[in-house]
């Protein structure tokens, strides 16, 4: 099964992707994680994307195409994979359609986590306070100003994917405001229905 998890920053895509990995045994492809690993390794790619990510803006579609097309070819993706925050513009969605078609594969389903933006900001504040208290490091884009920009970028550049996938008949909306278990169960229902 090939699926996309869509939803604004902080909606819980990563947490839900990890759950699907455990339940279905397919890998989670997070371009955010891949880019953060590039930054941590000090590679040329990492140096190129750091400032853009720290502002909460999107890296170019070309960079995403480069890292995703390679990753998708790996043997562990043969039975499917989860694109977690990995498709963020209509250009990237068209690219994925093209790449999959070349490999004679097809996207099965797109899960949109529907959440309330103000509630996400509240959750971020709690996360920051808890991390500070526990002395845990925070992501460099985890502060309120950058977070609000990431929400705006989502509204402007990623939300147009919703009608794009609706037209393809692949979009399933899931209420993302419940507990991890409740949202997980709703996703399971949507995935079972499209098996």
For 6, list phi and psi in degrees, rounded to 5: -115, 145
Task: Please say if 127 is a catalytic residue.
Answer: yes
- Contacting residue, 1, 21, 39, 52, with ligand AMP by CB under 6 A: 52
Query: What H or E segment, with its residue span, contains residue 32?
Result: helix 31-41
Nearer to ligand AMP, 15 or 193 (CB): 15
CB-CB contact of 111 with 81 (8 Å)? no
- DSSP 8-state symbol, 177: S
Compose the 91-130 pattern: x for residues touching ligand AMP by CB under 6 A, - for all others: -x--------------------------------------
Pairing of strands 28-30, 171-175: unpaired
What's the min distance (Å) between Cβ of 8 and ligand AMP? 9
Q: Is 86 in the site for ligand AMP (CB under 6 A)?
A: yes
- Out of 7, 8, 12, 32, which residue is the one contacting ligand AMP (CB under 6 A)? 32
Distances (CA, A) of 6 to 13, 38, 75, 116, 143: 7, 23, 24, 14, 21
- Residue 85 interacting with ligand AMP (CB under 6 A): yes
Q: Which residues does the annotation mark as catalytic?
A: 13, 88, 127, 139, 150
């Amino acid at each position: 099964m090939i699926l996309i998890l869509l939803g604004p920053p902080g909606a819980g895509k990563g947490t839900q992707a990890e759950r699907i990995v455990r339940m279905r045994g397919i890998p989670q492809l997070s371009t955010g994680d891949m880019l953060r690993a590039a930054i941590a390794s000090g590679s040329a790619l990492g140096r190129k994307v750091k400032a853009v990510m720290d502002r909460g803006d999107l890296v170019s579609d070309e960079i995403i195409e480069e890292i995703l097309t390679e990753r998708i070819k790996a043997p562990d993706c043969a039975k499917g994979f989860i694109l977690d925050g990995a498709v963020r513009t209509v250009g990237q969605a068209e690219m994925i359609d093209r790449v999959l078609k070349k490999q004679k594969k097809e996207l099965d389903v797109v899960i949109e986590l529907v959440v309330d933006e103000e509630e996400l900001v509240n959750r971020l504040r709690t996360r920051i306070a808890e991390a500070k208290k526990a002395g845990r490091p925070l992501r460099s884009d985890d502060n309120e100003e950058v977070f609000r920009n990431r929400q705006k970028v989502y509204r402007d550049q990623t939300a147009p994917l919703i009608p794009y996938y609706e037209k393809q008949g692949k979009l399933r909306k899931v209420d993302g405001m419940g507990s991890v278990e409740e949202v997980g169960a709703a996703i399971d229902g949507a995935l079972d229905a499209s098996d």
